[in-house]
Amino acid sequence: MEFLFIPPVLIFILSFFKVNRTVMALISSTIAIGVIYVFFHPLVNNYFFVDKLGGFVLAVSSIVAVAVFVSMISLPKRINLNEKSINRFYRFFAVFWIGIIISILSNNMGLYWVGLEFATLSTVYMIKVKVSKEADIEAWRYLVVGAIAISLILFGIILIYASSKGVLGDKAMNFYALMHNTQKINDYLFELGFLFVIVGMFIKMGFFPMNLWLADIERASIYQVGALFSGILESAIILGFFRFSEIEKHTNYSHLIGIGYVYILFTLFFISFLIYRAKDFVRLFSLSGIEHMSLIALFWISGGYFAALLHFAAHAFMKPGLFISSSVLEQNKKYLFRGALKNMNKFAALMVSALFLGVISLPPSPMFFSEIYGFKAMIDIAKDSNYFILMLIGIFTLLGLLSIIFYKFVHIYQDMVYVGDNSQKKIYKSETIAVLILFVSTALLLLPQSFEFIEGIVR
């Protein structure tokens, strides 16, 4: 495990010195080395639970982080940032990454919460990297919303601990022990705790009823913060949801389905119309990220584990790529969709177009396949349910809401390509390389070997 913590500690120390931005990006990319090592060395003890699922989520997150580091090289040329601000970003990213490692690989609910708290507090300071009044306001807003969400999660964890303390003793905080002793848990206390936990997690991902704060924050901060939110922080949260929901599934599956479907349908109802009214790229990408996290959660609780993990990885690669490309699409602080892809480097325009269309599940996007498998799992659940008609109504309602989002994205894409002025788009090499890393990573998900590997994670 030491291999994982050495690179972020090194990044933290170097952030206090004047280091060339390219060298700093290369040094920071060494976080992937420890991840590769841990990926092939699973372990379970009282504090860490390094299984295939955790290793996969951490590996995906590390690829996103490397792309973000590459894009940081040219960021001062794009916006007015000094070396002090750049160093602050790396300093608090190091703290953020330590928190992510702890939360993703934790076998202890308390440690999981501590990791999320580390990531939350460090993100506040990364938002403030952009020196503006809006960034300061949104950083404080995020601190308040994050505190609400993390407090709900903590209270839920306390209730879950109380539900199993009598039978598991010191291992009552242990994810692995809880998963293998679900029959011994006090159902009432666990389900009450689980409800608090998932509400806190959903709020932290921008679900109903707090749908707008995430888009406001990502609009006010640098584009790389949006990439970190969508590709890394949400990954740690959704992994926690996977762990807790698997325990709830063996405790009372019908309650899990009922709570999950109702909450997520409420979220998608509001998100679909907020996306329909979106006026700029970052707000569009933020809101659609909430849509995709909703689908991942739905597929998972419906038993479509392969669909959920494929969709998760595709979203974790594509959405940060779109956030990073926003710095090119939005030239001279103009946030309109009209003509955004016109007069862009053809190779860059091809990658951005592919990511943009892929994120609405047009084939051959990985999301096209994940949604096929995911909706199949949902239909299978409906067939086995005592509420078959109600489940079908829910599924068709979901498809109707997704069609609104699909229509809006297609309409925006037409404006990006065919409408607008002829102003030349300036693109830096580091931005192209960063988007290329995420584009290639997305494409690799389509390989048969990738499908086979992801299926093996949940067997």
3-class secondary structure for the chain? CHHHHHHHHHHHHHCCCCCCHHHHHHHHCCHHHHHHHHHCCCEECCCEEECHHHHHHHHHHHHHHHHHHHHHCCHHHHCCCCHHHHHHHHHHHHHHHHHHHHHHHECEHHHHHHHHHHHHHHHHHHHCCCCCHHHHHHHHHHHHHHHHHHHHHHHHHHHHHHHHHHHHHHHHHEHHHHHCCHHHCCHHHHHHHHHHHHHHHHHHCCCCCCCCHHHHHHHHCCHHHHHHHHHHHHHHHHHHHHHHHHHHHHHHHHHHHHHHHHHHHHHHHHHHHHHHCCCCHHHHHHHHHHHHHHHHHHHHHCCCHHHHHHHHHHHHHHHHHHHHHHHHHCHHHCCCCCCCCCCCCHHHHHHHHHHHHHCCCCCCCHHHHHHHHHHHHHHHHHHCCCCHHHHHHHHHHHHHHHHHHHHHHHHHHHHHHHCCCCCCCCCCHHHHHHHHHHHHHHHHCCCHHHHHHHHHHCC
Can you name the residues that pair with 238 across neighbouring β-strands? Answer: none
| Burial (Cβ within 10 Å: 0-12, 13-18, ≥19) of residue 287 | buried
Beta carbons of 246 and 176 less than 8 angstroms apart? no
Q: Output the CA torsion 63→67→68→74 (10° steps).
A: 170
pLDDT at 335: 64
Question: How many whole angstroms separate alpha carbon 250 and alpha carbon 182?
Answer: 6
pLDDT at 64: 95
State the Cα angle at 393 between 391 and 398, rounded to 5°: 95
| Burial (Cβ within 10 Å: 0-12, 13-18, ≥19) of residue 385 | middle
pLDDT at 422: 62
116 closest CA partner among 29, 297, 243, 300:
243
Beta carbons of 16 and 87 less than 8 angstroms apart? yes
**Strand bridging mode 49-50 / 43-44:** antiparallel
Q: Which residues contact 19 (CB under 8 A, 6 or more apart)?
A: 27
Peptide bond before 364: cis, by omega within 30 degrees of 0? yes
pLDDT at 334: 62
Beta carbons of 138 and 243 less than 8 angstroms apart? no
Q: Which residue, chain included where needed, has tokens 């079908």?
A: 392
Residues in the chain: 459
pLDDT tens for residues 281-294?
Answer: 888 888 999 999 99
Max Cα-Cα span within the chain: 70
pLDDT at 333: 57
Peptide bond before 209: cis, by omega within 30 degrees of 0? yes
pLDDT at 343: 77
pLDDT at 60: 94
pLDDT at 91: 92
Structure-token pair, residue 9:
């500690």
Question: How many whole angstroms separate alpha carbon 18 and alpha carbon 228?
Answer: 24
Instruction: Give me the phi and psi of 17, to 5 degrees please.
Output: -120, 165
pLDDT at 301: 93
Question: How many whole angstroms separate alpha carbon 264 and alpha carbon 268?
Answer: 6
pLDDT at 201: 93
Domain ranges of the chain: 2-457
229 closest CA partner among 102, 332, 142:
142
Beta carbons of 355 and 439 less than 8 angstroms apart? yes
Per residue of the chain (459 residues), what is the pLDDT tens digit? Answer: 778 899 999 999 999 988 888 999 999 999 988 888 887 878 888 888 888 899 999 999 999 999 999 999 988 888 878 888 888 999 999 999 999 999 999 989 999 999 999 998 899 889 888 878 888 888 888 888 888 999 999 999 999 999 888 888 888 888 888 888 888 888 889 999 999 999 999 999 988 877 778 888 888 888 889 899 989 999 999 999 999 999 998 888 888 998 999 999 999 999 999 998 888 888 888 899 999 999 999 999 999 999 999 999 999 999 999 999 887 887 655 667 778 888 788 888 899 999 999 999 999 999 999 999 999 999 988 887 777 888 888 889 999 999 999 999 998 888 888 876 666 778 889 999 999 999 999 999 999 999 999 999 877
